[in-house]
């Protein structure tokens, strides 16, 4: 049986594209979603990444039903954009709990099966803004930058066990998350993208497929931009 890969937030957007792409590549994909379901016949378990008890319960369900998890794509994420002067504690706590602490807890729990198997693949979905900064996104950028430090530290901890830990840093991707941005902000971002267009979720998924595949066996602690050149130099 092929390895189980857990994709969080795989019910829509980038996570959904990742789940479909990995399944098409022959991986055994399980989506973790708050509703416990996912479209296109993808297997799914209930998972709220901001709740430690939900993470434990989801792993137990997956291990019982599908076997040990040897791949984790920590994709689930939220924004609560506003200038720091106006940011509430809730805006800050929710974004850090979901995007940063949730991803770290997922990685910690996934290590159990990976260390036993002496192999594993962990991919954190960060963002170009984690490295560039973005006005109105202090909470989100801090969480996304935190994933880089977390991945690189963990890569050092578990490299000798055959486990790789990498980060994908997308730029502007056309999903529900970006659909609500004002048109002038979208135009401003587009001007700064050398490729002159936004990304499609499938273009992020292609890079994740590479990182979880055999071809990336010697890639760890890396930050792979999928941003059309927006964050060049970082
Ligand atoms: P969407 O808003 O389209 O989808 C977000 C996904 O995350 C949904 O499946 C959502 O589930 C899930 N999610 C949110 N909170 C939780 C939670 N507490 N527990 C479980 N699942 C949760 O976002 P994108 O697809 O655009 O983004 C995916 C990732 O890519 C995020 O980490 C985002 O920060 C990152 N990213 C996105 C960029 C973009 O331009 N779109 C750019 C750079 C990075 P539900 O359906 O239940 O809400």
Helix (H) or strand (E) holding 7: strand 4-8
User: 3: pLDDT confidence band, cut at 50, 70 and 90?
Assistant: confident
CA-based radius of gyration for the chain: 17
Number of domains into which the chain is organized: 1
71, 15 in Cβ contact below 8 A?
A: no
Whether residue 89 is contained in a domain is answered as yes
**CATH number for the domain harbouring residue 23:** 3.40.50.720
Q: Which of 76, 180, 207 to mutate to test the pocket of ligand 1 (most atoms within 8 A of CB)?
A: 76
Query: Is residue 42 scored above 60 in pLDDT?
Result: yes
The pLDDT value recorded for residue 154 is 99
* Pair 232, 194: CB distance under 8 Å: yes
Ligand 1, atom 44: closest residue by C-alpha: 127
Of 1, 226, 217, 8, the closest CA to residue 105 belongs to 8
Residues 193-230 have pLDDT tens digits of 999 999 999 999 999 999 999 999 999 999 999 999 99
Locate the ligand 1 atom nearest the alpha carbon of residue 11 and give its number.
Answer: 9
Q: Provide the residue range defining the domain that includes 158.
A: 4-220
Q: Is the distance from CB of 69 to CB of 123 less than 8 angstroms? A: no
Q: Identify the active-site residue in 20, 91, 113, 140.
A: 140
Residue 33 lies in a domain: yes
Q: Whose CA is nearest to atom 10 of ligand 1?
A: 9
Pocket of ligand 1 (CB under 6 A): 8-9, 11-15, 33-35, 47-50, 75-78, 98, 125, 127, 170, 172-173, 175-178
**140 is annotated as an active-site residue:** yes
Residue 232 belongs to a domain? no
| Ligand 1 atom at minimal distance to the Cα of residue 173 | 40
* Band of residue 2 on the pLDDT scale cut at 50, 70, 90: low
**Is residue 142 helix, strand or coil?**
helix
Residue 31: its pLDDT value, please? 98
Three-class secondary structure of residue 119 per DSSP: coil
pLDDT tens digits, residue range 127-184?
999 999 999 999 999 999 999 999 999 999 999 999 999 999 999 999 999 998 899 9
């Amino acid at each position: 049986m092929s390895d189980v890969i857990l994709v969080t937030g795989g019910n829509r957007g980038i996570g959904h594209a990742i789940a479909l792409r990995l399944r098409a590549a022959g991986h055994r994909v399980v989506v973790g979603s708050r509703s416990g379901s996912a479209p296109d016949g993808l297997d799914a378990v209930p998972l709220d990444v901001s709740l430690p008890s939900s993470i434990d319960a989801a792993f137990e369900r997956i291990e019982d039903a599908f076997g040990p998890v040897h791949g984790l794509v920590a994709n689930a994420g939220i924004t609560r954009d506003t200038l720091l002067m106006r940011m509430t504690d809730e805006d800050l706590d929710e974004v850090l709990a979901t995007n940063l602490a949730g991803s770290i807890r997922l990685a910690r729990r996934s290590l159990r099966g990976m260390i036993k198997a002496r192999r594993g693949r962990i991919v954190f979905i960060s963002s170009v803004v984690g490295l560039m900064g973005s006005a109105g996104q202090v909470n989100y950028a801090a969480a996304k930058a935190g994933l880089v430090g977390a991945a690189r530290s963990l890569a050092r901890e578990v490299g000798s066990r055959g486990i790789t830990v990498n980060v994908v840093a997308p730029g502007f991707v056309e999903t529900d998350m970006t659909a609500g941005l004002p048109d002038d902000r979208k135009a401003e971002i587009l001007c700064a993208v050398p490729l002159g267009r936004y990304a499609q979720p499938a273009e992020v998924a292609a890079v994740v497929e590479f990182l979880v595949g055999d071809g990336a066996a010697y890639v760890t602690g890396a930050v792979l931009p999928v941003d059309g050149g927006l964050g060049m130099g970082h």
